[in-house]
Structure 1
Amino acid sequence: MNGRTVVTSLGAVAVAVLAFVIGVAVRPALVQDPSAAPSLTVVEVGYLQDMLSHHQQAVTMSQLVDRDGLSTPIRSLARQIVQEQSIEIGTMVGYLQLADEPIQSSTPMAWMHRDVDGSHHADTTAEHPMPGMASADEVASLGTLVGVAAENEFLRLMQRHHYGGIAMTQDLLSYGSAGGPVVRLARSSLTMQTKETGLIGAMLLARGISDGG
């Protein structure tokens, strides 16, 4: 890794940290206005906890491909994902803290009541705890690949990852909640990830790779 790559990687990390701080910084303002503190259902708490982990992996994979030797469109997409999902991570942490709920779930996916790709949440494993998540080996491999191989693998993994995140969000919305901050966040996330999934699909097809959806 040369000096320019190190600077680029540090820059991506800085963006993620800044976005995270912006999200969490909302907490003091909300505390001063108790009416703004979210009242979360058990399902919303579970969704926030699990989507936090889901987003964190997306940020990690995106940072792995923001480096020299990869194309500008791939790096631009990666930076967009880092920025958007880091801000949402900060917001989700803030909501959980305001509700005095733990950041991590002791029972991942227990809130989800709908099948995803034919597999119920109870069928998840330690290696694939949530829909669309990459395995530790897949993430590690992504960091070692170079050139087009790295780009194609990133697109493949991120497409699957977004499909999983979309399924989780659709499941939350299927509970029929009338509104609230978590539902608004979920709808915004759904819109963003749906658009990015379409872009990723187009990029894959342009490379002669079939859509995995």
Structure 2
Amino acid sequence: MRKNRISKRIPAAAASAVLALGAVVGTGAVTAPAVADAPAQSEAAASYEVGFLQDMIDHHAMAVAMSQTCLQKATHQELKELCQSILEAQQQEIGQMQTWLHDWYGITYEPKMSEGDMRSMDRFETYTGAEYEIRFMQSMIRHHWAAVREAEECLESAEHAELTELCSNIREVQLAEISQMQTWLEQWYDRSGGRPAATT
């Protein structure tokens, strides 16, 4: 994602208020898994889930915007098809995450783009042909790696099973898309895809 770590976390007081919307948690040592239409049962998990969902919505919105330019400017049909797949999947996931924020935490949230994101999109408008495809794939690979790292953290920190299932899917799908774009960069342009040593 755009930040090294998720930074938008609701404060402890807000998390406590969110938790009050759900069933009262018992005093036992083991916390039961979160249930549908209720907030996470631990304050830390509630804070984490809200921050993660908001940040991932923003992150997905950037990928959607990038994919829209790809459909207009890419020259390889294979890349256009991948961009269409990214656009459709991440739009659907944005809607799902917005629904969870509303249903679990009473939060209505719309995607936001930072000034840096908007500057990046402006730069993409200046690229054409091979330069566009190279820069697009290299940028989307970096974008995906950030999402993969955050999805892996989500698997450790989130309570809702629906959310951890989404994070597992994000990791699997985006790793496959990274591999595909790395292959195309090497085959079409003899360029490195920027493969890091690890995802964490």
Contact 1:166-1:194 within 8 A present in 2 as well: yes
Residues in 2 aligned to 1:38 and 1:202: alpha-carbon distance in whole angstroms:
43
Deviation at 1:104, TM superposition (A): 6.1
Matches within 5 A, 1:22-41: 36-40=36-40, 41=46
**What do the CA deviations read for 1:101-131 (whole angstroms, capped 9, x no partner)?**
24269xxxxxxxxxxxxxxxxxxxx666xxx
Structure 2: where are the runs of 5+ without partners?
Answer: 1-34, 41-45, 196-200
1:114 is matched with: none
Q: Using the alignment, how far apart are the partners of 2:96 and 2:194 within structure 1?
A: 30
1:57 aligned to which of 57, 62, 69: 62
**Structure 1 equivalent of residue 84 of structure 2:** 79
Gaps of 5+ in 1: 1-34, 106-125, 129-134
Determine the C-alpha separation between the residues in 2 that align with 1:93 and 1:159: 25
Q: Distance in 2 between matches of 1:208 and 1:179?
A: 43
Alpha-carbon contact 1:55-1:85 (below 8 Å) kept = yes
Say whether the 8 Å CA contact 1:156–1:212 is kept in structure 2: yes
Counterpart residue number, 2:193: 211
Structure 1 residue 68: deviation in Å? 5.8
Aligned-partner SS, 1:140: helix
Give runs of aligned pairs for residues 169-180 of structure 1, distance below 5 A: 169-175=151-157, 177=158, 180=161
Is structure 2 residue 168 aligned with structure 1 residue 187? yes
Normalized against structure 1, the TM-score is what? 0.65
Match of 2:107 in 1: 101
Cα displacement string for residues 40-77 of structure 1 (whole angstroms, at most 9, x for unaligned residues): 32211111110000000000001011026622012111
- Aligned-residue offset at 1:202: 0.9
Contact 1:173 1:183 in 2 (8 A): yes
1:179 Cα deviation from its structure 2 partner: 5.2
What is the identity, as a one-letter code, of the residue corresponding to 1:180?
Answer: A
Which SS does the other structure have where 2:149 is aligned?
Answer: helix
Q: Residues 90 and 178 (structure 1 numbering): CA distance in 2 closer, same or farther, change over 3 Å?
A: closer
Aligned match of 1:151 in 129, 133, 142? Answer: 133
TM-superposition CA deviations, 1:62-98 (whole Å, max 9, x none): 1011026622012111101001111100100110111
Matched, 1:45 2:50: yes
User: Matches of residues 109-128 of structure 1 in structure 2 within 5 Å?
Assistant: none
Aligned position for 1:200: 181
TM-score by length of 2: 0.69
